[in-house]
A and B are shown apart, each in its own frame.
Chain A
Amino acid sequence: MSTIHLIAVFVENKPGQTARVTKVLAEAQVNIHWVTIANSGSFGVMKFLVSDRDQALQALRENGLMVSLLEALAVETPNQPGGLQTVAERLGRSGINLDNCSGFVANDHAILVIEAHPLGEAAEILRQAGLRLLDQEEMRRL
């Protein structure tokens, strides 16, 4: 199964906390390929896809931040109307919960980053639908 690893970082609800995290990554010479920030109102969770996962984890931990490694899918969909629809419908029909999803287009590749459970089943369904799952290396080269 082709999966990617996201780094999740806990962010306190105080001014400057997002910058605190990004500063650590910058100083560790880690490049960010993709990021989302989810805010609960009283705290936030930043998720990253980065150039060097282990270096990022180490630097974040050393700086007293709380981190966790998440497994996710990166799906390439046709860059045309209905691209996301295919994915959502297939997963929904199979009773798979979509926990988080974000998307972007790079060099004419439409990519969805999906956290779902169970992840293995989601991967299988998408593959059967003829969609391509990218691994960490392919994501880096986009």
Chain B
Amino acid sequence: MFWDRESETLARAALEEHQLRCLRQTLERVAAKAPFYRRRFMEAGVKAEIKSLEDIREFPFTTGIDLREAYPDGMLAAPAEGPVRLHTSSGTTGKPKALFFSRGDVQHAADLIARSLVGAGITPADVFQNMMGYGLFTGGLVMHYGAEKVGCLVIPAGPGTSERQLMLMRDFQVTAVHILPSYALYFANFLEQKGIDPGKDLKLRKAFVGAEPHTEETRRRIERAYGLDVYNSYGLTEMNGPGVAFECEEKAGMHLWEDHFLLEVINPATGEPLPDGETGELVLTTLRREAMPLIRYRTRDITSVIPEPCACGRTHRRIARITGRSDDMLIIRGVNIFPQQIERVLMSFAQVGRNYLIVIDGLDDLTVKVELSAAAFDGQVEHLTALQDQIADRLKGEIWIRPKVDLALPGSLPVNEGKARRVLDQRSL
């Protein structure tokens, strides 16, 4: 199913022609109107003139640090019609990143969500419970506008208590949810404790998970726990929030909406562009944004482009599941480790429950706290100690370090209403 068949299946040549036209307009706009870019382009000795899409490589990157330094409005490109909305990143480390939306930007963001939802099989008959935070976080409002645009009944539940989520789900026969993957796992536990069988007692058929990197194993677990289809999505506050890339019903990588974003994958260490299929850092340039365009923004997210055409017929290239953030990487005893590597191993054990926590303390001592699944406990100490050993061995095979494995009760590890906390670094180095 398509929301905007013409745009979504545009032939590559026409799509690239559109990209070049939009890129020119964007570069001219920021050079003329955004104080940050005027200065940045001057310092780099580049002019807002390009002959081909490849010429983008001559332009300097924009980083998260730049955004924080431009706070509150140094990157605003003052559209004729003033901005109508502001979102910010969480800003847990100092100043947040402030993002302005014009009226057109709000419409475009909703449109991209509508494409994404319809592409995953959502129709106006769906009842859509949005369990993401409303407020400065984009996951709530941006998704809300898109689902409304499709014509769903949208319930702005936000990250309320599990009791309330369940009440809404039951009373309004909710068929689709937008939820953090960590919360989806936690909520499945909650339903189990309540004696609720989602397959029988609820009407859920689709879940959109995002805002946190997660693994294919986690997706399958959520699908099994609820008996529904889970679609991965990708977005970041800096690029409107959700709706940058979404899975279609093929569930084989996320279509990145290339008529709105110019994508590059680079080697994060050297900044050099990488060919399709190679893994590196995703770099995005906005093509249609009015209030606050961003040029070559370093997302820090690690992925690769899937060059093969998708069976769904969309021409917009897909990106692979995010495997980590270049700044999430842990260095333990000199070894580079992504939390997702640990998650992949843990989630492959049936006895492992739905949450985990990686703790690093002392001098590089790694402990992995793992919730058990209630069915895994048969009362025998030996079986649990054997499980601890197996997990530690398998992790050693994956990350070259044998961690201490601590077993925890289902539902006992911390889950924030926002994003799950997966790593606790308490090193005294």
Please classify the interface of chain B as helix (H, G, I), strand (E, B), loop, or mixed, using the class held by over half of its residues.
mixed
With A10-B372, A42-B388, A43-B384 given, is the CB distance from A68 to B406 under 8 Å?
no
Residues of A near B388 (CB, < 8 A) are 42
With A40-B384, A66-B372, A66-B374 given, is the CB distance from A12 to B379 under 8 Å?
no
Interface residues on B, range: 20 to 34
Residues of B near A62 (CB, < 8 A) are 193
Query: B residues touching A (Cβ–Cβ < 8 Å)?
Result: 193, 372, 374, 377-381, 384-385, 388, 404-412
Q: How far is the CA of A99 from the CA of B407 in the complex (A)?
A: 22
Q: Count how many chain A residues have C-beta atoms less than 8 Å from C-beta atoms of the other chain.
A: 21
Q: How far is the CA of A42 from the CA of B404 in the complex (A)?
A: 9
Residues of B near A24 (CB, < 8 A) are none
Residues of A near B409 (CB, < 8 A) are 10, 12, 64-66
B408 to A, closest residue via Cβ: A12
Please classify the interface of chain A as helix (H, G, I), strand (E, B), loop, or mixed, using the class held by over half of its residues.
strand
Shortest distance from the beta carbon of B381 to any chain A beta carbon, whole Å: 5
A-B contact count (CB 8 A): 53
Query: Can you report 18 residue pairs joining A to B where beta carbons are below 8 Å apart?
Result: A8-B380, A10-B384, A10-B407, A10-B409, A12-B408, A13-B406, A40-B385, A42-B405, A45-B380, A61-B193, A64-B409, A64-B410, A64-B411, A66-B372, A66-B374, A66-B409, A68-B378, A99-B380
Q: Report yes or no: B406 in contact with A66, Cβ–Cβ below 8 A.
A: no
Q: Report yes or no: B408 in contact with A67, Cβ–Cβ below 8 A.
A: no
Q: Report yes or no: B408 in contact with A45, Cβ–Cβ below 8 A.
A: no
Q: How far is the CA of A78 from the CA of B384 in the complex (A)?
A: 35
Residues of B near A6 (CB, < 8 A) are 379
B374 to A, closest residue via Cβ: A66
Q: Report yes or no: B378 in contact with A66, Cβ–Cβ below 8 A.
A: no
Q: Report yes or no: B407 in contact with A42, Cβ–Cβ below 8 A.
A: yes
Contact of A43 among B407, B410, B411 (CB under 8 A): B407
Going nearest first, the 4 A-B pairs with the smallest beta carbon separation are A8-B379, A68-B379, A66-B377, A70-B379
Q: Report yes or no: B406 in contact with A64, Cβ–Cβ below 8 A.
A: no
